[in-house]
A = this chain, B = another copy of it.
Amino acid sequence: MDSFHFYAPTYFAFGKESEKQTGALVKRFGGTKVLLHYGGGSVKRNGVFDAVAASLRQASIPFVELGGVMPNPRSGLVYEGIELCRREQVDFILAIGGGSTIDSAKAIAVGALYDGDFWDFYTGKAELTRALPVGTVLTIAAAGSEGSPDSVITHENGMLKRAASSDEIRPKFSVLNPAFTCTLSPYQTACGITDIMVHVCERYFTNTKDVEITDRLCEGILKAMIHEAPKVIQDPNDYEARANIMWAGMVAHNNLCGVGRAQDWASHKLEHELSSLYDCAHGAGLAVMTPAWMTYVYRHDIPRFSQFAVRVFGVEMDYADPERTVLEGIERFKAFLHSIGMPLTFAELGAKESDIPKLVEVLGAGDALPIGNFVPLYAEDAAAIYRLAL
């Protein structure tokens, strides 16, 4: 196990009607004027926005609004949010939505206290040392951004999708009401489930030895997802299954199960180019790319992939032919993803073989290559993995 730091000081209010605590929580964490940041307006139609606004009013906290966050959130709205915060002297950003809205809120939070271009933090040009406090009211179990130090933004100048990470942008609090996720479509739900599972896989496939405790936590999250996912696909209003998935989504990405071990993140990077080019759902892109990545790299560590197959998917170990065990594990992962309605191929996603050179080119822009840590991947590897996903 490697040495590490772990600091996850987000306050979670979880359960039915937990949104009623929002106003008190903003106050507790020092907010006196709030930017309410949200997406395409579904939170206005389904009552979530009104419930949160009521809680703020009850706590006598004034707010301004900025809606319009799109999946794969863009820089344009971030710049707009930064201007709005300065103009209105906002001192707290409250995201109502999923990972895209939260990531956009985090970007606004860092930009509002920085004289230069917020994008500097996403290109590594500047070090992220301060930000306005951020809170979240989560409506999609997926990205884990409600408990993570990460933010991913796509810059409209070149459509580059890049991440920033710092404990400064971990939310001060997150309100998690599983009932809010019941209005998601089965497809959105499945995309979230896939994202949660791949967050675990990115940590699971490591070259760090002797990581039994985090291995077991990772496996536990994956098995819980396999157990709960079919329930919400069958019955979107299954509150209990929604609750299990919602908490799993946080635990999968606040890094408790990833400390002390090298992490990979190649599948995410391969996917980011897909969602950047085609504007597909991130989870759907991951469903296509992660099994392809596994198929490309598994020979690097047959015992670890055997462990994954046996412990997570219940494959019976073939001691005479471990590779059969590994391949059966990957097949079961694909079958699971297919069973919840996820695409597994470029064709199902609407991606094109002819775009592979372009995907690889953008992936490698700057000094981004190699990607991944379990197996460092260069342009030809990335191209091969994209082809495996055709």
Contact = CB atoms under 8 A, between A and B. Distances in A.
A367 interface: no
Interface in A199-242: 209-217, 219-221, 223-224, 227-228, 240-241
A35 interface: no
Interface stretch (A5-13, A49-57, A151-159): A5-13
A225 to B, nearest CB: 8
Interface stretch (A14-22, A36-44, A274-282): A14-22
Contact of A217 (B3, B178, B221, B241): B221
Contact of A244 (B1, B2, B8, B256): B1
Interface in A165-221: 178, 209-217, 219-221
Contact of A12 (B7, B210, B219): B7
Contacts of A224: 212-213, 215-217
A51 to B, nearest CB: 15
A65 to B, nearest CB: 27
A4 interface: yes
A12 B1 contact: no
Nearest to A170: B9
A217 B251 contact: yes
A15 B6 CA distance: 11
A240 B3 contact: no
Contact of A216 (B6, B178, B220): B220
A228 B243 contact: no
Nearest to A12: B6
A198 B3 CA distance: 27
B210 A240 contact: yes
A260 B2 CA distance: 31
A280 B5 CA distance: 34
Contact of A3 (B2, B18, B223): B18
A210 B1 contact: no
Nearest to A214: B247
A7 B21 CA distance: 15
A248 interface: yes
A259 interface: yes
Contacts of A12: 4-7
B241 A210 contact: yes
A375 to B, nearest CB: 23
